[in-house]
Structures are given as C-alpha cells and as structure tokens.
Chain A
Amino acid sequence: MKGLRLAIALSFLLAAAAAAQTPPPVVKPPEIPPFDGRQGYVVYPDTMDVPSHEEAAECVARALAQAVPAARVLPPERFRDAFYPWMEPATKPRNQPQQEEWLKRPLVQARAREIGLRYLVIVHGRHMETSIGVGHCGINPCPGRGIFTSHAEVSLSIWDIEARDLLGRAEAEAEEKGFEGVLVFIPINISPDTAAPVCAEAAAAAAKAMAAGTPR
C-alpha cells in the first residue's frame, strides 16, 4: 500500500515536471517589413517522398501566411503543376548548382512571370520524439510512454526566381519535454507543439529575406 502511494506520488511529480517544462508555446507573428504583395511566393518541401519535409513545409507556409498576410501565396500543388515535369520527386533539383541552372531556363523564367511568382522557399524538416518508455503502443494516450522529448528542426533556402539567385538560408530548432501515460486511472497526454515556434522563427527569417530582396 505504501509502495502504491509512493508510485502515485512519483507519477504526479513526473507529470508536474513534464508539464512545467512544456508551457503552451505562444506563437507571436514576427514584425516584418511588408514586401511587394504582387510578387508571390511558394513554400515547397525539399523532398516530397519524406513526410517530415511535407509537414514542415505546411507548417512554415502557415507561419509565413500569418507573418505576411498581404503577400500572394501560390499553393504548392499549383506550383508543381505549373512547372511540370521539373518539380516531381524524381526530377526536382537536388542541390544549389542544379537549382541555379534550372532557374536560368527561359521557359522557367517565363512561366514564373506569367503566374506572378517571385520567391521559392524550399523546406527541409525533421521532427523526432524519443522516450525512455515504450515508443507507441496503439492506444492514445499510451500508458507506458512516460516522459518524452520532442525535437523539431526546420531549414529553409529562399530563392529569388527573377534574380536567379539564392537569397539566403534559415535554420531553427527546438526541444521540449512532454508526458504521456496514466495517472490514478486518468489518461494524461501533455504533448508540446514543438514544431510551431520553430516554423514561426524560420518563416520570420524567410519573410525578412524576401522583404530585403536581392541586392542589385
């Protein structure tokens, strides 16, 4: 009986510790000088076969839309269709020289002008969760998971299509603790949204780069 009380007390302490380390993230829209809203941008995943890149691209796109609500945004599917066959998983430029070469193509430049696209933001993302308990157990919340660490990182490359140039790169990462388990028969799931502040930080950097434009 004494052991059970001790276990319950310890569980409460662990949950409280996890909760204390994971305050709900407050995502403030960053202060960014507005860039020319007529010149649109697209946020595109680095690799479409990697779900973490696609999720990160969606997350950055949301943050960027919040940061610069006036700018024109081209949905990634429309961008992919407009530049078919160049942006498919098997054909997308893999590195900076290939990207530069692609941007030099007259057809690419003409199409970008036609659809009012100036900037291309390519997103590479990673989100990992590690726990000392079991990783996943098919039940939500998983009783045996305990305290876990959520790590999110996002890196962007921001291209000026018209200038055929890399405007800059931005990186952001964060790590927070969460808790998932059952305490005194009450299921508890404290999962931090680690990705949102990371995306907001990266999006702010991208928006600043686009606002500054390419030095001529």
Chain B
Amino acid sequence: MKQHVLLLAAVVALLSACGPVKRSISLKVTPSMPPAPLYEPFPLRAAFSCPPELRDHRSIGTEQSRLADGTLELMSYDLDFGNFHCRLFGRVLRSVFASVEATEAAPAGDIDVVLQPAVEKASYGGGVEIRYALTLAEPGGRVIATVRGGAPTPAYKPEERLFDLAVRDAVAELLLRLEKDEDLAAWLAARSITWGTRAAS
C-alpha cells in the first residue's frame, strides 16, 4: 500500500512537472502610431464614429504558447488600451478617404459611407496578436464590405516594440485588403465612381 501511495505521488509530481507554466500579466498599452499611409484615398465622404467598446478598450484572456525550450506556457493577460484604437482609426482613416467626418451621433446628409472599426483580437502570450476589422456601410445601414487585418507578431522581436509592430502590421494588412476588396469595388463600379490609378505607368 505504502509503495502504491509513493508511486501515485511520483506520478502526480511528474504530471505536474510536465504541465504548462502559468504566468499572468497586466499592462497599460499605448503603442506608437503607425506612419501616415501611402495610399490613394477613396473618393468618398466618410463618417467615422468610434464604437463605445473601443473608447475604453480592455482585452482580457488566456493564451497558450510553446517557449523556445519547449515548455508550454499559459499566459493570462489583461491589456488596457484605453482610447488608443479610436485615436488610431481616427488618424489612419483620414489618409484612406477623401474626407472623414468624426461624429458621435448619426451621420449627417452628405455622407457616402459610414466606417465601423472593431478589434477582433488583442492578445499577449508567445508574442502579440492584434486583429482589426473595418466595416463600410451605407448611411442607411446596408453593409458594403468588411475587411480584416492582423497576424501574430513573433516573440523574438524586442519586447517593448511588440505592440507597435502588431498594430502597424494589422493596420497595413487591413488597408491593403480594403484596396483589393471585391465587394467595395463592385459598389464603387455600380455608382460609376472611378478610383485606382495604381497600375498606371
């Protein structure tokens, strides 16, 4: 019996030794703003209203990753972005549309599209991952297109730049997908709005 107990204790000890390393982190995150995009603006008058959930954005979750030495890590994170995403989209979208009107209420009359950004993921653990979505809708509410951008930023990058790189990469991908989006292209074509001199030589 004593031998069985010892064996069981040894097995439990072994299993717990093989389990993931648990860590937790709480961060106030203010990444650097990406540079102004080199982008041919869409000839559209846009209204941008930052959704309430992004005005004081907090991302809480757990991310599992494998460390360089093979250990499994379970990272619990609490990321406080504050108003960062609203400032980010407010600034970036000004380079993407002919005019952008920041509005708290329903958009006024002379508006072609309403822009609705969202944070689909903001995680920390084995690197940083930020994923954005941007929905373009008609003033009446009909959705024209939704584009997404974002990818994990590898952990080997300098720790203090992980969020900067994740944000700039997510925004970059979002902007390029917006440019290539077929739903938006069809919507523009249906309204005889010409845009895109990028391939002209």
Contact = CB atoms under 8 A, between A and B. Distances in A.
- Report whether chain A binds chain B: yes
Interface of A: 49, 51, 81-86, 88-91, 101, 104-108, 111, 164
Contacts of B34: 84-85
A51 B156 contact: yes
Which range holds the interface residue count of chain B? Answer: 20 to 34
15 contacts: A82-B38, A84-B37, A85-B34, A85-B37, A85-B168, A85-B171, A88-B173, A89-B169, A90-B151, A104-B198, A104-B200, A106-B197, A106-B200, A107-B40, A111-B38
A84 B172 contact: yes
Interface string B68-85: 000000000000000000
B40 to A, nearest CB: 6
B150 to A, nearest CB: 8
Given A85-B39, A90-B172, 7 more contacts: A83-B38, A84-B35, A85-B173, A86-B176, A88-B172, A91-B169, A91-B176
B172 A105 contact: no
B199 A91 contact: no
Contacts of B126: none
Interface string B29-69: 00000111111100000000000000000000000000000
Nearest to B168: A88
Contacts of B168: 84-85, 88
B125 interface: no
A105 B198 contact: yes
Question: Looking at chain B's contact residues, is the secondary structure mostly helix, strand, loop, or mixed?
Answer: loop
Contacts of A105: 198-199
Contacts of A85: 34, 37-39, 168, 171-173, 175-176
A136 to B, nearest CB: 11
Contacts of B38: 82-86, 107-108, 111
Nearest to B170: A90
A69 to B, nearest CB: 29
Nearest to B173: A90
Interface string B149-184: 101001010000000000011011101100000000
B199 A101 contact: yes
Contacts of B201: 104, 164
A106 B196 CA distance: 10
